[in-house]
Amino acid sequence: MKIAQLARKEVQALTPYQSARTLGGQGDIWLNANESPFEHQYNIDGAALNRYSECQPKPLIAAYAKYAGVCPEQVLTSRGADESIDLLIRTFCETGQDRILFCPPTYGMYRISAQINEIAQRIVPLTADWQLNLPEIANNLDTVKLLFVCSPNNPTGNVIPRQDIIALLKMTEGRAVVVIDEAYIDFCPEASMVTLLDNHPNLVILRTLSKAFALAGLRCGFTLAHPDIITLMLKIIAPYPVPVPVEHIACQALSDAGISRMKHQVMQLNSNRAYLQTELESIPGVTVFSGRANYLLVSFPHAQPLFEHLWDNGIILRRTPIENAIRISIGQRDECEKTARSIRQHLAQ
Ligand SMILES: *Cc1c(COP(=O)(O)O)cnc(C)c1O
């Protein structure tokens, strides 16, 4: 017997998440993982690592609570927002009984975390203009415990209107939890649903330092929710989930200086996005979907040869499940310029 056959059937059958990093590629322009192009130095204190870390370091929780405008009791920190997705599923869903609901095209980890935990999924696609199909969701709520809504949505970039989220929260009140994934909200903070937390105990908001805060490699994310939900999640989180250096670096990023630097970079990236959008829209046959995050979803007459041409030229973009659409992360201005130029050249051939 092969050792792999000892594994759970679901794990044997699982196709793991294809992260931008695992897909490889060689190049000098990396626009495939919605990372920030800005690099920063941090002070790292390597002393006292003989002691375990605090489960939920108070200075870090306090700093994020202040940034998000919530109480510390409403904040949990974890290894990225991805860990929070897994924790939520394990907290709320019973195998063979409960489901999660999500609305593709959207972020791939909701499905994969559910599969890993043997939780069934209900899929209600977004409408043609990538909004929630509320009547269809309402018809599909039986056995659903968790709903995942990504806003701004990855990979389409649009935000979900506040009145739709409120409708969803009312529709699910007392029977299911609505998780709004705000991984990209720092690029359009006015679209956050954070002020709904106080009146809606079934709302959960996911945040991360991986995108606007330029700390994808740190693995630090946050869950904002009613204190009762935070308490439940803390029951099942790993004993020491936040390495001491992660706490120290995250606190520097969340200092007043760190936050104002982030906001400045958000302005630059939003302006680069507007530039790239204008450039690409001027190319015949190209459609750009207006987005509010640090990427654009762009549709081409034939995306695959274009993707490969740029790949071969060291410009690494991300394919999407949407036919002939490619997601382009927003980098430095010169990276946007080179990308637009290569696309224009390829399509002119
Ligand atoms: C990047 C991303 C995440 C994961 O964030 P981490 O904090 O790096 O785990 C979650 N949701 C969406 C929509 C993302 O794009």
Q: What is the pLDDT of residue 47?
A: 84
Average pLDDT over residues 74-102: 98
Decide if pLDDT at 24 tops 80.
Answer: no
Mean pLDDT of 69-91: 98
Is residue 343 within 8 A of residue 306, CB to CB? The reply is: yes
- Count of H-run helices and E-run strands, the chain: 11, 13
pLDDT reading at 181 higher than 80: yes
Residue 149 CA, ligand 1 centroid: distance in Å: 13
pLDDT band (50, 70, 90) for residue 283:
very high
Mean pLDDT of 35-56: 93
Distance (Å, rounded) from C-alpha 120 to C-alpha 107?
A: 17
Confidence check: pLDDT of 81 > 80: yes
Predicted confidence (pLDDT) per residue in 126-156, tens digit: 999 999 999 999 999 999 999 999 999 999 9
To which H or E segment does residue 279 belong?
helix 256-281
Closest CA to 9 of 136, 98, 95, 80: 95
Q: How far is the CA of 344 from the centre of ligand 1 (A)?
A: 31
| Residue-averaged pLDDT of the chain | 96
pLDDT confidence band for 16 (50 / 70 / 90) = confident
Left if phi > 0, otherwise alpha if psi is -120 to 50, otherwise beta: which for 218?
A: alpha
How many angstroms is it from 278 CA to the middle of ligand 1?
Answer: 27
Q: How confident is the model at residue 5 (pLDDT cuts 50, 70, 90)?
A: very high
In the predicted model, what is the mean pLDDT of residues 251-262? 98
Best of 109, 182, 224 to mutate for ligand 1, by most ligand atoms within 8 A of CB? 109
Q: Which amino acid is at 126?
A: L
231, pLDDT greater than 80? yes
Separation of first and last alpha carbons in the chain: 54
Give percent above pLDDT 70 in the chain: 99
**Taking 80 as the threshold, does the pLDDT of residue 51 lie above it?**
yes
Q: Candidates 36, 180, 210: which one to mutate for ligand 1, based on the most atoms within 8 Å of Cβ?
A: 210
Instruction: List residues bridging with 178 in a β-sheet.
Output: 147, 203
- The CA 82 to ligand 1 mean position distance, Å, reads 6
76: pLDDT strictly greater than 90: yes
Kindly give the number of the ligand 1 atom that is closest to the alpha carbon of 220: 7
Atom of ligand 1 nearest to the CA of 33: 1
CA–centroid distance, 208 to ligand 1, in Å, is 7
Asked if residue 304 lies in contact with residue 280, where contact means CB atoms within 8 angstroms, the answer is no
Residue 46 pLDDT: 85
Looking at residue 88, its pLDDT comes to 98
Return the ligand 1 atom nearest residue 221 CA.
Answer: 7
Ligand 1 atom with least separation from CA of 107: 13
Give residue 48 CA to ligand 1 midpoint distance, Å.
Answer: 30
**Nearest C-alpha neighbor of 349 from the set 313, 297, 296, 295:** 313
Interatomic CA distance for residues 79 and 222, integer angstroms = 9
